[in-house]
Amino acid sequence: MEILKGAAVTAAIKEQVQELLKDFQGQPPKLAIVRVGERPDDLSYERGAVKRMEGFGLRAQSYAFPEDIGGEEFKREFAAINEDPDVAGILLLKPLPAQIPEKEIQSMINPAKDLDGISPVNMAKVFAGEADGFAPCTAEAVIEVLKAYGIPISGKRAVIVGRSLVVGRPLAMLLLKENATVTLCHTRTKNLEEECRRGEILVAAAGRARMLGGAHVGEGAVVIDVGINVDADGKLCGDVDFDAIQEKASMATPVPGGVGAVTTAVLAKHLALAAVRGRR
């Protein structure tokens, strides 16, 4: 089984970003990372995003707010970031605390700066197959992995396990755009093993540690593991039992070092695109 490592994909995306910005004048594009509270997973993602931006020659600034900030105050602060001409793109770390109206914030964000595809405008563009909408970075990272390794998508049977608006549903639209035949499954799908085995491309995005094993994988399938979980021993693992699929899958992404590594590279690419479009 060939292991599809994210590092090679990230290097290819870095070249794309450099090409996009080769004629860009002035300071490098700036990413605003908006965080409320101190959740460990948010802090980890923020650190990774900042490191990736700097590695790609881009700027990143964190805007951190206390967990108990009022909803109206947060809206005012967010509006100021949203309207700042120096900010080319925004990454809002979710979920937000209960006192902040998350849907209102998602509707407020300028679609041109919405790098992770959370605004209703960008969601609609992704579902309509329009090229100028930003898809969620993780969903797009799956497509980047497949393309970087030359894995055919057109005409292939793709099965996705997970129906979130962050990965499963937008990824289904991206795969359809590439002419795959898509089945979208979830944790309540009947005969899940059988459905998964039909997939020539199998994407695990349900958020359950090692949920999919060898019985879920058809012979020669390409397995893309989007899950990031912590097991009982405190180790990072995916939604796929990596050891159990090695005799069945032809290729698979590891966790860590797979799709997660590509997600922040896609974020950087979206930032570059937003900045270039903003100058037109």
Q: Please report the pLDDT score of residue 234 as a whole number.
A: 84
pLDDT in tens, 111-160: 999 999 999 999 999 999 998 999 999 999 999 999 999 999 999 999 99
pLDDT in tens, 240-278: 999 999 999 999 999 999 999 999 999 999 999 999 998
Rounded to 5 degrees, φ, ψ at 269 are -65, -45
Q: Which fold has domain 137-259?
A: Rossmann fold (3.40.50)
pLDDT in tens, 97-106: 999 999 999 9
Q: Please report the pLDDT score of residue 235 as a whole number.
A: 87
pLDDT in tens, 228-248: 998 888 889 999 999 999 999
Equal CATH topology for 24-112 and 137-259? yes
| Burial tier of 98 (Cβ tally within 10 Å: 0-12, 13-18, 19+) | exposed
Taking 80 as the threshold, does the pLDDT of residue 184 lie above it?
yes
- Which H or E run contains 195? helix 192-197
Q: Please report the pLDDT score of residue 57 as a whole number.
A: 96
Q: What single letter denotes the amino acid at residue 51? A: K
Bridge partner list, 177 = none
- Which H or E run contains 127? helix 120-128
Considering the chain, what percentage of its residues have pLDDT values greater than 70? 100
What does the DSSP assignment read for 47-94? HHHHHHHHHTT-EEEEEEE-TT--HHHHHHHHHHHHH-TT--EEEE-S
CA atoms within 13 A on the CB side of 199: 27
What architecture is domain 24-112? 3-Layer(aba) Sandwich (3.40)
Taking 70 as the threshold, does the pLDDT of residue 280 lie above it?
no
Q: Please report the pLDDT score of residue 232 as a whole number.
A: 81
The tokens describing 146, both together, are 């497949």
Segments making up each domain of the chain, as ranges: 24-112, 137-259
